[in-house]
Each structure stands twice: as C-alpha cells, then as structure tokens.
Amino acid sequence: MRRRPGLTSTIALVAAMSIAGCRVNRPAADHSKQQILYRATGSDPRTFNPILITDATSGTLTGELLESLIRVNPVTLLPEAGLAEKWEIAPDNKTITFHLRHDAKWFDGQPVTSHDVLFTMNVIYDPKVPNSIRPSVLVDHKPIVSETPDDYTIVMHLPKPFAPLLYSIGIPVIPAHILEPVWKAGNFNRSWGIDTPPGKLVGNGPFRMTRYVQSQVVQYERNNDYWMKDEQRGQLPRLHGQAYSVVQDQNAAYLRYLSGQIDVYGPRAEEVLDLRQKAERKELDIAVQEIGVDTGTMFFTFNRNPRHYVKNGVTNPKLNWFTDLKFVTAMAHLVDKKSIISLVYHGLAVPAVADISPENKIFHNPELKDYDYDPKLAADLLEAAGYHLSKPGVRTDPKGNRLEFDLTTNTGVPERDQMCAIFKQDLEKLGIKINYRPLEFTTLVDKIDSSFDWDCLLMGFTGTIEPNDGSNFYRSSGNLHLWNPNQPTPATVWEAEIDTLLDQGASEMDTAKRPPYYWKIQQILHDQLPIIETVRQKRFASWKNSLENYQPKVWGLYKPEWIQFKPD
C-alpha cells in the first residue's frame, strides 16, 4: 500500500503548516514605535509616471514622492507655496513669475531648478505624450510660453488672463536630468511604469518609495533631505515611513482597521455607528470624525439631445417633455431627498441644492432654494402644463402620448439602485411609466458618449475646487455637457449665458472677484434644471488616537508632514 504514507504525510504537512503558522518572529512588532503609518488603498497603482496618471490611486501614491510647483491648502482652498516659494502676477494679468525655493533637492542630490519645471511643461505639451494634464494648462487652446531667466525663476506668458492656471499649475515637477534623455529617445510613455524598481523613481517630495509588490503593498521611507521644516526648524516629515496596503475589498479593509493592521480609515455610512460604539465602549482607541460632505455632485438628468430624438424630421415626444421647464420642475419636486437620506444613506447625507458642493467654500452658491419634495405640487404642475391623467394610473402629454421613459444608471453601486427605485415609485404614483435599466458602466458611457441613447440618467461627478475644471460639463460645446453635448452653437439662451460666464470667470485673476460668475452658473442650472440635484453623502474619517496632527479634510490631509505617533 503505497498510497497511505502519502496521505499521512500530507496530513502531517497540513499540521506542520498550522504550527509553523503561529511562529513568526517579528523584530519590532509595533509600527507606531517605528513611526510608520499604515494605510490601505483600494486598488493598485497603474503607473508611477506623474504625467501619465489618469487614476486617483496612482496620484496618491506618487504624490508622496513628488512635490508640485504650488499646492492647494485643503482648509483655505487657496494655492500656497510648494516648490515655488512665491509668485507674482504682472499688472497685465498675462505674465506669472514663479520663484523656486533654493533648498529643494532631488533624491540623488541634484537641485530642483527652473529647467525641471520647463522640461515638465514641455513633456505635457508634447503631442506624443497623451496625458490628462495638457487641457488644463492650455489657455485659449494655446500652450503657455515659459522662459527661465535663471535656475530658480520661471516666467510664464499666457495668451490671455487665465485665473484657473493657479490651480492647474500644481502639477508634479519631474527630474529633467533623469527623464529628458528618455523623452528625447521617444520612450517617455514607457518610463516610470509600475515595473520600474522603486529606487529609480527620483522624486523631490517628503518620502522615497522603497518597495512595491503588486496588489500587496507600497512602502516608503522618509526623505531626510526634504526641504520642509517645522516651527522649531525640525526636520519634516515626522513620520519615518509609510506603507499602503492594497486592499481591494472594502469589507476586508474595514476588518484590517478593526484589527489594528492599518492606522487610518475612511468608514462608510453603515460603519460609522459601529466605529463610534467601539470608540465609546473603549474597545478601540480611535477617533471618529465627520469631515464634511462629498465634494462632487449626483443628479438626475433628462436627455435633451435632438440628434437622438429627431429622426427623419419626426420629433420624438420625449424631447418635448424633457425640454419643457414645467415638466422638469415637476420632476424636481419628485426627488424625495429625505427618504433617500434615511433609507439609502442611514441618515448620513444632506440634500444637495447647488451643483457645486458647499465644501467648495470659495465657489459654492449658498443662496439657492431647494425644490421641496411635493408630489401634490408636482401633479398640479403637470396638470397645468397639459399632462393629464387619461385614465387612472396613466398620464399622457397634451398630444395624447403616454408618459413613459427609461431610467438608467450604472450597475455596481447599490445606493444608485435604491435611489432610482425611490424616484421610480414616486413617478409611477403620478401615472408616469418608468423602465428602470441599470447598465454596466462601459455600456452606459458608450450611450452617453456616442449613441446618446438614453432618456433619464442618474449620474455623478467628482468635484474639484476650480470650477473651470468642469468646463467640459458646463460648456454647450463640451463632450460631457450630458443632456445635449458637443453643440456647435448654444441651443438655448441660458446655455449661451453659461458659456459667457465661464469665459468671464476664467479671465478674472482676482480670486475674490471670481465667485459671482460661478454663483450665476449654479443659479441657471438650478432654475433651468438640466440637472436635478439629489444628495451629498457625509464623509467620515477614523484614526488611531495614538496619531498626532492627523487632520483629514474632504479635500485632503492638512499639513500631512506634521503627522506622527505619540511618543509613549
């Protein structure tokens, strides 16, 4: 019998494995003593090349090792010094002079100079380098002409005044002495990929990358030559290292936080209560804090694209409904934000009124009045506009067409499913038939982008501080002007007005004088209802109490270089 010893030895092996499993000799188990911050990230980086990045994770991970020309303060939301110590705007509003700090060095000891900045700009403008930064540093579709009078000064000449530049110029500067030869050889698009050994990533930021293991971990150690000092001239950053574990599944990330394997965590609504209880009962020594609401926007929108609805001279009646202000106003009164907040978000959300989030303290318009949830008023509005109940439960337009349309969103987000279900229910009570058709994201994008084959959509966008970043959405010629994209000339007076306001807002260089233009845009979107706002989720952060100076804001960490673990 030869088989039996085989079996026994396998069982013995399994047993040995379980015993071996308990004996891992850790030289220093407590990472807080080592001043190493452990965090989780939801996905792998796609590239370490800051110019080629199109995803958030790669941005966060490379952000640790690269400093930008200027930064945006997540509390004041104003640009502040980074590699550029200061900058001046000439009286003609078309020339900006940046003065670089003299003590910034690359990891290999080379100084960071204006040549690096110029090189970075050249790469961004290179048509052979497809990147998402270029559109934000084009002014009037033209590149900015830069000159470098000396090693620490860079002068940018704009074709016309363009205020958003102060936000978009916060691009990470890359080392010319390393990457210029690569770029000249035509290999830039393949440089600094995720297969590049971390030691070859030469940055100038607070941390150096020491190790990356795909879908497991990205590790950093402190850059002891980093220029930033604290009030007592102490070296920053205070942490000696960082480690980001790649944890795709959010439940798994939560368990890791509960077990203490990671130090900071952004809990979901349903986890907030649980964490608060654990903190109160002293099961965990953690802080749980509300840090604000979503910076983005989530809305219902109706398709107003004649290219989709007018075929062979025949107009689909849906186009008439969706461009009828009375119809969409009735729809706005049917979004039951209260129910959405309590049923979908466990009470941890707020009604959204303006398109720009209140977190955008500079540009948010606080004066708009929300459309109350009022099915009775909605019914009256529809009746008054000629959309009558032809028989119980069936509403028809003035020409006798039954009110019926598709409602679409992307699959995989349970919250959106529930919101659509609530909206559908309210509409059907008024005799409007809704065909709910959730679609795979790529399929949905195809419809939004190419075939325009949709009726009503629940959609969300993330927000940025600079409203001009949303030009593709606001502008009538924009490809993300969802309800009627790529218009050769504005289809309506108010869309034309938004186009003008965008131009005016962008050319006003004084930040204090810019908000009125964007307030007006929010007002128009609110009145004309091309988009019907829903809610904004509240955002939370939780972290171990042993951390000091950990100050998460919805726009990012405030003074991250000051973070440290409390000494015992």
Partner 1 sequence: MTQFLLRRLLNMIPLILGITFISFLAMSLVPGDFLSNLKMNPTITPEVIKQLQAQFGLDQPLIVRYAKWLWGVLHLNFGISLSYRVSVTSLIESRAFNTIILSASSMLFSWAIAIPIGIIVAVNQNSIWDRVLSFLAFFGMSVPSFFLAFLMMYFALKTGWFPIGGTFSVDYATLDPMSKIADRINHLILPVFVLGISGTAGLMRLMRSQILEIKNSEFVRTARAKGLSERVVIYKHVLRNALNPFITMAGYSLGDLLGGAALVEAVMNLQGLGLLLLDAVRSLDIYLVMGSVLMGTVLLLVGNLLADIALVAVDPRVDFSSVAAE
12-51 positions binding partner 1, by CB under 8 A:
13-14, 17-18, 20-28, 31, 38, 44, 46-47
Angle ∠(168,174,175) on CA atoms, nearest 5: 155
- State which of positions 476-535 bind partner 1 (CB under 8 A): 479-480
Task: Candidates 248, 342, 425, 545: give the one binding partner 1 (CB under 8 A).
Answer: 248
Provide the residue type at 293 as one letter: V
Nearest distance, CB of residue 331 and partner 1, angstroms:
23
Nearest distance, CB of residue 250 and partner 1, angstroms:
10
100, 114 contact by CB (below 8 A) = yes
Task: Candidates 41, 62, 223, 245: give the one binding partner 1 (CB under 8 A).
Answer: 245
Nearest distance, CB of residue 46 and partner 1, angstroms:
6
- State which of positions 160-189 bind partner 1 (CB under 8 A): 189
- State which of positions 386-445 bind partner 1 (CB under 8 A): 440-443, 445
174, 67 contact by CB (below 8 A) = no
**Which 3 state secondary structure label does DSSP give 336?**
coil
Task: Candidates 231, 249, 510, 568: give the one binding partner 1 (CB under 8 A).
Answer: 249
**Per-residue contact string for residues 112-151; x = within reach of partner 1 by CB under 8 A:** ---------------x--xxx-xxx---------------
Nearest distance, CB of residue 3 and partner 1, angstroms:
8
Tell me how far apart the alpha carbons of residues 127 and 109 are, in angstroms, rounded to a whole number: 31
Chain-centre distance for alpha carbon 541: 17
Tell me the number of residues near partner 1 by CB under 8 A. 75
Tell me how far apart the alpha carbons of residues 466 and 543 are, in angstroms, rounded to a whole number: 29
Handedness of CA 545, 546, 548, 551 (dihedral sign): negative
- State which of positions 348-377 bind partner 1 (CB under 8 A): none
Closest residue by Cα to residue 270 from 344, 351, 337, 338: 344
Tell me how far apart the alpha carbons of residues 240 and 548 are, in angstroms, rounded to a whole number: 14
Nearest distance, CB of residue 84 and partner 1, angstroms:
22
**Angle, helices 493-507/515-528, rounded to nearest 10 degrees:** 160
36, 239 contact by CB (below 8 A) = yes
Contact between 105 and partner 1 (CB under 8 A)?
A: no
Task: Candidates 92, 140, 446, 527: give the one binding partner 1 (CB under 8 A).
Answer: 446
- Which residues are CB-neighbours of 52 under 8 A, at least 6 positions away? 129, 130, 131, 189
**Per-residue contact string for residues 276-315; x = within reach of partner 1 by CB under 8 A:** ----------------------------------------
Nearest distance, CB of residue 240 and partner 1, angstroms:
13
Q: Which stretch binds partner 1 (CB under 8 A): 86-94, 265-273, 424-432, 471-479?
A: 471-479
If the CB atoms of residues 76 and 214 are measured against partner 1, the closer one turns out to be: 214
Task: Candidates 295, 360, 365, 464: give the one binding partner 1 (CB under 8 A).
Answer: 464
Give the Cβ contact number of residue 380 at 10 Å.
13
Nearest distance, CB of residue 258 and partner 1, angstroms:
6
CA dist list (Å): 152 to 50, 84, 114, 117, 244: 22, 9, 5, 10, 34
Dihedrals φ, ψ of 107, to 5°?
-55, -30
Task: Candidates 52, 422, 521, 541: give the one binding partner 1 (CB under 8 A).
Answer: 52
Nearest distance, CB of residue 257 and partner 1, angstroms:
10
CA dist list (Å): 496 to 196, 316, 501: 48, 25, 9
